[in-house]
Structure 1
Amino acid sequence: MILRRVARPLLASMFITGGINALRDAEGHAQAVKPVIDKTVDQAGDSVPEAVPTDPVTLVRIDGAVKLAAGTLLALGKFPRLAAGALLASLVPTTAAAHRFWEMDGDDRQQQTIQFLKNTSLAGGLLLAAADTEGKPSVGWRAKHAVREAGKQVQGTTDAVQKNVQKSQKNLQKSAGRAGAKAGKAAGKAGKATGRAGKVTGKANRTFALSR
């Protein structure tokens, strides 16, 4: 969509520029956030893992690299939702550290308030970009749909098995009925044969008695 091709580079331009500037002048940017970082590290104390960098210059460079890389991906439309999420994760601590307007007075307070609100506006745009599925179903929807489809298939299989069982039972009942009917007919025939044999025997006995 043309709108996304235009909007994504516009949204990413601020982050790409900020990332380049941070990498070029990491020391200068570090001076602005150093008090906040030092205060945070002091409050955390020994709970900060050794693998986590606490040097302001290093943190500024990492933040600049993230902004540059993720901003470029967003501008190009490559993994846009992931890139927007990375930029948002980078924007929040940067805003909290560099634009603490509530600690300032006068013109500085006004300027930092503007910067803070500008960043919150960018955060809103990043939230929209991170949630944009480009008209495709979201992962959550697809997962729920897959579960429903699996449930329908299981129910269909269960119904088919029940129908087959019921059909088999009916066939067995019919077979048993036919076998019973045949057995009844055979018993009837045997009874008739026995009756005829009895008659023949009776006649033979009467003939024998007369001949004596």
Structure 2
Amino acid sequence: MTVILRRVARPLLATIFVTGGINALRQAEGHAKAAEPFLNSAIDKFGDKLPEQIPRDPVTLVRIDAAVKIGAGLALASGKAPRLAAGLLLGSLVPTTLSTHSFWTIKDPGERQQQQIQFFKNASLAGGLLLAVADTHGKPSAAWRAKHATKDVGTAAGKLSRKAEKRANKLAKRAQKALPN
């Protein structure tokens, strides 16, 4: 049942990102204009901490974001590295939401309400992506496996140590018997 659910849910969740990424590529300048105030503010605050290789041009950033949405969306939809894909989409969704749906800055009540709806839609998508990031397919997480592997190694080391100690004691007794009094 859960396998079928994943095969249906992942593509449904990914659809908005793939289509949004394609739309952003087609209209990069318009998306960049909408995101520019947020991007300029973020660059003003954190620009000195960003590596020089990270572009500051809004159109380039929109294109990079669009490529992430398309690539990670297709990966999520196809089940290829779905946890990583969901994490990338989540990382893309947060700045997109803050830059384009900042309803708290809008004075017009009608436009404010529309942007509030879009903001909470994206918040809901973020919840779905968080579930996808945490989905281990019913298998233990990497942290759980590492913790238990450590215990297993400790147990094996303890057994090996006790065996070595017994063997050393036997050899010591033999050596004692072999020595002349």
User: What is the identity, as a one-letter code, of the residue corresponding to 1:100?
Assistant: S
Q: Sequence identity, in percent?
A: 59
For structure 2, the residue ranges without an aligned partner over 5 or more in a row are none
Cα offsets for 1:180-206 (capped at 9, x unmatched): 7xxxxxxxxxxxxxxxxxxxxxxxxxx
Cα offsets for 1:62-111 (capped at 9, x unmatched): 11110001000100001101100100000011111111111012111111
Computed over aligned residues only, the root mean square deviation of the Cα atoms, in angstroms, reads 1.9
Looking at structure 2, the residues matched to 45 and 129 of structure 1 have their Cα atoms a distance apart, in angstroms, of 31
1:126 matched residue in structure 2: 129
Higher relative contact order (CA 8 A, sep 6+): 2
2:144 matched residue in structure 1: 141
User: What is the identity, as a one-letter code, of the residue corresponding to 2:148?
Assistant: H
Looking at structure 2, the residues matched to 138 and 44 of structure 1 have their Cα atoms a distance apart, in angstroms, of 34
2:70 matched residue in structure 1: 68
Specify which of 77, 94, 113 is matched with residue 110 of structure 1: 113
Specify which of 142, 159, 166 is matched with residue 156 of structure 1: 159
> How far 1:142 sits from its partner (Å)?
1.6
Looking at structure 1, the residues matched to 175 and 60 of structure 2 have their Cα atoms a distance apart, in angstroms, of 81
Q: TM-score normalized by structure 2?
A: 0.90
Q: Secondary structure at the match of 1:13?
A: helix
Looking at structure 2, the residues matched to 38 and 169 of structure 1 have their Cα atoms a distance apart, in angstroms, of 76
1:55 matched residue in structure 2: 57
Matches within 5 A, 1:18-97: 18-44=20-46, 46-97=48-99
Looking at structure 2, the residues matched to 46 and 170 of structure 1 have their Cα atoms a distance apart, in angstroms, of 70
Equivalenced residues, count: 178
Q: TM-score normalized by structure 1?
A: 0.77
Distance 1:84 1:166, change over 3 A: same
Looking at structure 2, the residues matched to 126 and 109 of structure 1 have their Cα atoms a distance apart, in angstroms, of 25
Looking at structure 2, the residues matched to 42 and 145 of structure 1 have their Cα atoms a distance apart, in angstroms, of 46
Considering only CA atoms, is the larger Rg found in Structure 1 or Structure 2?
Answer: 1
> How far 1:49 sits from its partner (Å)?
3.6
> How far 1:146 sits from its partner (Å)?
1.7
2:14 matched residue in structure 1: 12
